[in-house]
Each structure stands twice: as structure tokens, then as C-alpha cells.
């Protein structure tokens, strides 16, 4: 009888040992793999940025400037970004972005392993480096903390950071960080800023085609730019729409309608272009006080004194006034031609074209063709034909004026959606103009024009240019006399006179080379007679006159020479304009100001500016002087302004050889100053006085500024009986030089 053991199969001792060895080896391999992975993780995470920093993270954002009605007039930024919240991004934009960039965004934990494996497989087969397959969270990690290189090392760091971000933040928080951080072309960061830049609307108002266009940009902002590559952008947009349809985010009908919608942009007009000289003045001040980093990255809110509507009126008044002057002096030619420099016409870009053009603007255009009776010009995306009627003022034929490649200056009369425009030929011979408008009660600068074209010259002729002010200085002379008891009805002898000075005899003359004999002070100022002004200044002393000018706020250096009474001193336009506001303010000077308030990113007030006032002259003197300056408008050199429908007063100014033309004047509520001249001190031309060159600009601006407003009335001047003050000037020892120290 056999035992049970005899019926069992023999044990394969050798095979069992092999299996045991395999198991042990596998365990050792797994241990080694785990150890190596842990080691790699340790290596890669040792120097990883601390994700905790994201809790206090705030992206670089725009510092915005607002006018007195809360409208944006300018901005400063290294990265053009408007920070928005999750709810500011509409569902259509969120769906579009997730469908094209990360379908499983709301389901994964930071990494999509299947996409990574697929991308890795494709890259290995093609011999490339690991790339693609990044989730939104991984893209966020890369944009915030890592370099853009596509190495395996960077990919591992990206994945590890994504996991940490997902553990610490909610999906809406991650999406918001991503949507504010991502670069979307043309210096724009974040979808809120992109919506404003490409479509001139906030993100909440985006349509499906617009949202799909923006969602397609993160893959390649330069490649798919709707500005530079509209055809690529359109294909990419439609790909996003298809992805949304595939994910069930939109219906077939919605997708079909969206795909058939043409690509239409409404590029945001650069707010800095409205008042560039004013904005630059603000920038210099802010950087001095808060530092460049805070100004360009800190997201400050700067509330300014400017009025956007008045600034537009000022821009137009100055440019129209310069155009009128240019036409008065005929065509000078000498146009730059780009073909002589080897530049192709269809490749040329002028700085003027960076902004969306507007009707009534003046821009430079390139001539694309020119023939008998007609020429064609291009500016930006617009083409315009110039006919003989458009150049009639030149008294020349078109072939004499223009040739292909010439850079000419035109005024835009109409813009059509099909890219056609209507323009007239103008001229830029180098004349410049500036304008400053100040609210009398607050000192707030409501409009400031510093020159013809900021893109060509950053020099601010309103705040930086020291120019001789001509007869617009004379009110300080008369103020000194009136303040010392003289009456507007006092008389003075307008006759040839010679003043003895330390440097020799000084024999001035009147503008018209004529003399009126005995005239009142009122008429002497209204007609801008030189001899009476010099006699008055000599009597009270030129140093006294300068002292009065300084009390009015003039800080520019004025040497104590008698010709200063006729405006030989060099003063800035903003100083002169602010000084004149003392007259309608009953003798009180309000320091001009640009800023009313500055807040930081969190809304905390950093500074708040209130009007700074100072008594300059008595109410009596101020009202008498206002009445005398009113005579300048009613019966004197500024009589052209008498046709205005509201009360105004002011003074013309013209310098020797007609190098500078001024008009500074005021209504009861606003003071405005205008200057015209060349940057180099050369003549504007014969008879180009302040009344002819500057006053029309002043009138055009003030007409708009006062429209629809209560202009107010000037306070009545006290009646002052005639005294003997002025009569003493004509005694034999009167013209002795006073305290003149020339």
C-alpha cells in the first residue's frame, strides 16, 4: 500500500528559489524606484518657490489717471493689466478658455496624466523635448515662478508646483490668478485688460466670438494676433468655437453663427494720447514722490484736475489755429520722402498711426500716388484721395506739391468703415502752440497743450518753455500803480522819451511808431502803448513792478531792467496764466494744481490736494484791473473777443520781430493763456501779433469751454476819481530811470 506522499508530485526546489529571487528583486527595484523618486522630488522641491506666497500675491497692475469726471485719461504700466475678480470673467469666456486649454480643469488635481503621457510619447517619437500637455494650473505655475524653457527639469518643477497650488487654492481662485496673469499680446496681460484693448469693453460684455478670440491667444499671442495676423486669429477663434461645441458648452446654431461672424476689432484709443503733456507732468511728479516701481507696477489711482471735454477742445483749437497760420503764410514744401531712404511705401509706419484716428485730427500720411488733379495718401489702415480743391490754398498744382513717398500733413474730415477717408492737405512748418486753462476758484488745470505733436517732441511749451511775454506783462505795471492809489482815468503823456540809464540812453517807441499825446491809463493799457507803460514802471521803480509780478506767482528770473515792463522777461505760459487768475479772483491767488487725490491699490488715500490760496492785492485793485483788462477786449487790441456771448477780459502780447504771440485772458470762472511761436526764436512773420495769431485760438477754446454753462459776471469796479498820480510822471525830473539799474 502506497502512502499519500508517494502520490504527490515532486517539489521543484530550484524553481521556487527562482521565484523567490524574482520577488526579492522586484521589491528591491520598487524600493530603489521609490527612493530615487523621493530623491528626485527632494532635489526638485528643495529650491521650489513657496506657494504660500501666492496668498499675498498681487500682480503688477496699471496706474490709472482719471479726469474730474472719473474718465480715464492716461495710465502708466510695465505690464498693461487690469486686475479683475472671478465673477468679472463671464461664463462664455471661462467656457471658451477651458475648452481649448484644459478640458478637465475642474476635475484634475493640477496634472492631467493622460495628456502628459500622450505628449511625452509624441515628443519621444519625434526626438523632441517634453512639451505641451500643461494644465491651466501648470501654466500659472510656470508664468509665476519658473522660466519659459522646455526642459524636463522645468516640467517636473511645473507639475510639483501645480499640485501644491491645487492643494492650497480653490478652482475659482486658480482661474482668477491665471486669467489676470497670462500674456495676451501687444503689451496686454490678463483678459480684462485684453477685452478693453481689443474691443473697448469690459470682459463682462464679451460676445461668444469675442470671448473665443481672446481664449485662443494664450497659445501664441504673437502668432495669433488679430491685429498683425487676422487670418490666423480667425482660424484659431473658430477652433475654440469647435472645442466649445464638442464640450457641449454651446449649441450647433450658436457655433454656426459665431463662426460666420467676421473678425471685428474696436481697438482702445490710447488714453495717454489725449493730454500727453499733462500726463507726462503727472508722471514726473509721481515718480519723484513715490518711485518708478510704485508708479508703473503699483496700481495707483490718480485723480486729476483735467476735464476731458475741455482738453479735446484745447487740442482742436491749437491745431486749427496753427493750420490757419500755416495757410496764411503759403506752401513751403520741403517734404521728407521715404523712398530716398530706401523705405518701401507699403512697409512704412508713422508714429501717428499707433492710435486709432479720429475725425478733425491732424496726422502725417504717406503719399502712395500723385498725378494731375489727384493724389492718394495712406495713414494707418485708411486711404484718402486729395483733389485740387483740397490744396487750393497752396495756389499750386498737385504734381508741384506731392510725389510718391512724401510724408505730408493732413486733417481728417471723415472716416468710413471700409477704410476710405476724406482729408485736406495741411502744413507743418515747425510752428508750435501751447494752451493752459485754469479754473479760477480752485486753481485746477482743466486743459493743457504743450505742443503740436508729443510723438515728435516731448518738450512741454506750456510748463517748460521760457518765452518773452511781450505786452502781456504790462498788467503788472498797471497793478503796481493802481495799488498805490492811481485811477484808471488819470492821464499820462504818450510822447517820445529817452531814459538815462547806467548803460546809456534808452529811447523806446510804440508799436505803431505813433504817439497819442495825453491819454488815460485805461486807454494806454487797452491800446497797449509802450511809452506810458515805461513811464509808469520808471516812476514806481522796475524792482517794485517785479515784486508785484512775483506776488502774482511768477517765479522765473526777471532782471531789474526797464524793458522788462514791456515783456522782455521770459516766463512760462502756466505761470502767466495762473497769475492772471488773480484778477477775477478779487486779488486772491490760487496755486495751480494737477492732482486732487492719489490712492493706492487697496484704495487707501496717499495724498489729497486742496486749493492753496494767498492774498496778492486788494479787492479794490483787482476789480479796477479787471475792468481795465475788460477795456482791452471791448475797445483795445483784443477787440475781436468782444463778440463772445459772455464777459471776458485779457491782454495781448507781441515781442520784437514777432517771435512770440500771446493772449492771456479770463471769464469770471476760467482763465486761459495761449502762446504761438517757433522753438527757435525766429519771426512768425510781419504783423503776426498776439491779436492775430493767439487770440483766435483763445476764442475758439473759450467758446467751447463756456458753452452751456453760467459764465457769471465780473464784480463792478469801484469808482475812483482822477488823482494827480500820473500827472507827476511828466515833470522834468520824471524820466530819470527810477530804480532802473540796467
* 506 three-state secondary structure: strand
Domain regions of the chain by residue span: 86-266, 331-428, 433-453+467-730
> Residue 36 has what pLDDT?
45
* Global pTM value: 0.81
CA atoms within 13 A on the CB side of 657: 8
- CA–CA dist 465, 662 (Å, integer): 13
Rg (CA), the chain: 37
Q: How far is CA 433 from the centre of its chain?
A: 18
> Residue 141 has what pLDDT?
80
Fold type of domain 433-453+467-730:
Beta-lactamase (3.40.710)
108-127 residue pLDDT tens: 877 765 555 554 545 545 44
- CA–CA dist 14, 205 (Å, integer): 77
Nine-digit cell string for 409: 500733413
> Residue 166 has what pLDDT?
84
- Three-state SS string across 440-489, please? CCCCEEEEEECCCCCCCCCCCCCCCCCEECHHHHHHHHHHHHHHCCCCCC
* 360 three-state secondary structure: coil
Tell me which of 2.40.50.140, 3.30.420.40, 3.60.15.10, 3.20.20.80 is the CATH number of domain 331-428: 2.40.50.140
DSSP per position, 85-122 = -GGGS-HHHHHHHHHHH-TTTTTSSS--HHHHHHHHHH
469-478 residue pLDDT tens: 999 999 999 9
- CA–CA dist 422, 386 (Å, integer): 8
- CA–CA dist 159, 137 (Å, integer): 9
Alpha helices in 225-383 (DSSP H): 230-246, 252-260, 276-290, 292-297, 308-328
The stretches in the chain having pLDDT less than 50 are 1-2, 4-5, 8, 11, 32, 35-36, 38-47, 119, 121, 124, 126-132, 732-742
Nine-digit cell string for 56: 499675498
Label residue 516 left, alpha or beta by phi (over 0 means left) and psi (-120 to 50 means alpha).
alpha
Q: Classify domain 86-266 at the CATH superfamily level.
A: Biosynthetic peptidoglycan transglycosylase-like (1.10.3810.10)
User: Of 191, 200, 210, 211, nearest to 88 (Cα)?
Assistant: 191
Residue 495, judged by CB atoms within 10 A of its CB (0-12, 13-18, 19+), counts as middle
* 68 three-state secondary structure: coil
DSSP per position, 9-49 = PPP-HHHHHHHHHHHHHHHHHHHHHHHHHHHHHHHHHHT--
Q: Are 571 and 467 in contact (CB under 8 A)?
A: yes
> Residue 720 has what pLDDT?
79
- CA–CA dist 86, 94 (Å, integer): 9
Residues noted as catalytic: 101, 471
User: Of 642, 671, 653, nearest to 582 (Cα)?
Assistant: 671
Q: φ, ψ for residue 358 (rounded to 5)?
A: -135, 155
User: Of 470, 484, 516, 381, nearest to 681 (Cα)?
Assistant: 470
Amino acid at each position: 500500500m502506497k502512502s499519500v506522499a508517494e502520490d504527490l508530485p515532486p517539489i521543484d526546489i530550484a524553481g521556487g528559489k527562482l521565484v523567490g529571487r524574482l520577488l526579492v528583486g522586484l521589491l528591491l527595484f520598487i524600493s530603489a524606484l521609490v527612493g530615487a523618486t523621493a530623491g528626485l522630488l527632494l532635489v526638485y522641491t528643495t529650491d521650489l518657490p513657496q506657494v504660500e506666497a501666492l496668498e499675498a500675491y498681487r500682480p503688477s497692475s496699471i496706474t490709472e489717471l482719471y479726469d474730474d469726471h472719473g474718465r480715464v485719461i492716461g495710465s502708466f504700466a510695465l505690464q498693461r493689466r487690469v486686475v479683475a475678480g472671478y465673477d468679472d470673467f463671464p461664463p462664455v469666456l471661462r467656457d471658451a478658455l477651458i475648452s481649448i486649454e484644459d478640458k478637465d480643469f475642474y476635475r484634475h488635481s493640477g496634472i492631467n496624466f493622460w495628456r502628459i503621457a500622450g505628449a511625452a510619447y509624441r515628443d519621444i517619437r519625434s526626438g523632441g523635448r517634453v512639451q505641451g500637455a500643461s494644465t491651466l494650473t501648470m501654466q500659472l505655475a510656470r508664468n509665476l515662478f519658473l522660466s519659459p524653457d522646455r526642459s524636463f527639469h522645468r516640467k517636473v518643477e511645473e507639475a510639483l508646483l501645480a499640485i501644491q497650488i491645487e492643494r492650497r487654492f480653490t478652482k475659482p481662485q486658480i482661474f482668477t490668478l491665471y486669467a489676470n496673469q497670462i500674456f495676451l499680446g501687444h503689451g496686454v496681460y490678463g483678459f480684462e485688460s485684453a477685452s478693453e484693448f481689443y474691443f473697448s469693453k469690459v470682459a463682462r460684455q464679451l460676445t461668444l466670438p469675442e470671448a473665443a478670440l481672446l481664449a485662443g491667444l494664450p497659445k501664441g499671442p504673437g502668432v495669433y494676433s488679430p491685429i498683425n495676423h487676422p487670418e490666423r486669429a480667425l482660424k484659431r477663434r473658430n477652433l475654440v468655437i469647435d472645442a466649445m461645441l464638442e464640450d457641449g458648452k454651446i449649441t450647433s446654431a450658436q457655433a454656426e453663427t459665431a463662426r460666420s461672424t467676421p473678425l471685428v476689432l474696436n481697438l482702445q484709443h490710447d488714453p495717454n494720447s489725449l493730454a500727453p503733456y499733462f500726463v507726462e507732468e503727472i508722471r514726473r511728479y509721481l515718480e519723484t514722490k513715490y518711485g518708478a516701481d510704485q508708479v508703473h507696477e503699483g496700481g495707483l489711482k490718480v485723480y486729476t484736475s483735467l476735464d476731458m471735454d475741455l482738453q479735446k477742445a484745447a487740442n482742436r483749437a491749437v491745431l486749427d489755429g496753427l493750420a490757419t497760420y500755416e495757410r496764411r503764410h503759403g506752401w513751403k514744401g520741403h517734404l521728407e520722402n521715404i523712398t530716398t531712404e530706401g523705405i518701401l511705401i507699403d512697409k512704412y509706419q508713422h508714429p501717428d498711426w499707433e492710435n486709432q484716428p479720429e475725425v478733425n485730427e491732424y496726422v502725417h500720411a504717406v503719399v502712395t500716388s500723385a498725378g494731375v488733379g489727384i493724389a492718394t495718401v495712406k495713414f494707418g489702415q485708411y486711404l484718402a484721395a486729395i483733389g485740387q480743391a483740397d490744396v487750393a490754398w497752396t495756389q499750386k498744382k498737385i504734381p508741384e506739391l506731392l510725389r510718391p513717398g512724401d510724408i505730408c500733413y493732413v486733417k481728417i474730415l471723415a472716416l468710413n468703415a471700409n477704410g476710405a477717408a476724406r482729408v485736406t492737405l495741411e502744413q507743418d512748418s515747425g510752428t508750435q502752440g501751447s494752451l493752459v486753462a485754469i479754473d479760477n476758484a480752485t486753481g485746477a488745470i482743466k486743459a493743457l497743450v504743450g505742443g503740436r505733436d508729443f510723438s515728435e517732441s516731448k518738450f512741454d511749451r506750456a510748463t517748460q518753455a521760457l518765452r518773452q511775454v511781450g505786452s502781456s506783462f504790462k498788467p503788472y505795471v498797471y497793478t503796481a500803480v493802481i495799488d498805490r492809489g492811481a485811477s484808471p482815468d488819470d492821464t499820462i503823456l504818450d510822447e517820445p522819451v529817452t531814459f538815462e540809464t547806467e548803460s546809456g540812453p534808452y529811447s523806446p517807441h510804440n508799436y505803431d511808431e505813433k504817439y497819442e499825446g495825453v491819454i488815460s491809463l485805461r486807454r494806454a493799457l487797452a491800446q497797449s502803448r509802450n511809452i506810458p507803460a515805461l513811464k509808469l514802471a520808471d516812476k514806481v521803480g522796475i524792482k517794485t513792478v517785479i515784486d508785484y509780478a512775483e506776488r502774482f506767482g511768477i517765479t522765473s528770473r526777471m532782471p531789474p531792467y526797464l524793458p522788462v515792463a514791456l515783456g522782455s522777461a521770459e516766463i512760462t505760459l502756466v505761470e502767466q496764466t495762473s497769475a492772471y487768475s488773480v484778477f477775477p479772483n478779487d486779488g486772491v491767488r490760487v496755486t495751480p494744481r494737477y492732482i486732487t487725490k492719489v490712492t493706492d491699490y487697496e484704495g487707501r488715500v496717499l495724498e489729497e490736494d486742496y486749493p492753496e490760496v494767498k492774498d496778492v492785492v486788494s479787492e479794490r485793485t483787482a476789480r479796477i484791473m479787471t475792468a481795465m483788462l475788460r477795456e482791452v477786449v471791448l475797445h483795445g487790441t483784443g477787440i475781436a473777443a468782444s463778440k463772445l456771448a459772455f464777459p471776458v477780459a485779457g491782454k495781448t502780447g507781441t515781442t520784437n520781430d514777432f517771435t512770440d504771440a500771446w493772449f492771456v485772458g479770463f471769464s469770471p470762472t476760467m482763465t486761459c493763456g495761449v502762446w504761438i511761436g517757433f522753438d527757435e526764436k525766429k519771426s512768425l512773420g510781419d504783423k503776426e501779433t498776439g491779436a492775430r495769431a493767439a487770440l483766435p485760438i483763445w476764442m475758439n477754446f473759450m467758446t467751447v469751454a463756456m458753452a452751456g454753462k453760467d459764465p457769471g459776471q465780473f464784480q463792478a469796479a469801484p469808482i475812483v476819481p482822477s488823482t494827480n498820480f500820473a500827472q507827476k510822471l511828466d515833470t522834468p525830473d520824471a524820466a530819470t530811470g527810477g530804480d532802473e539799474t540796467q
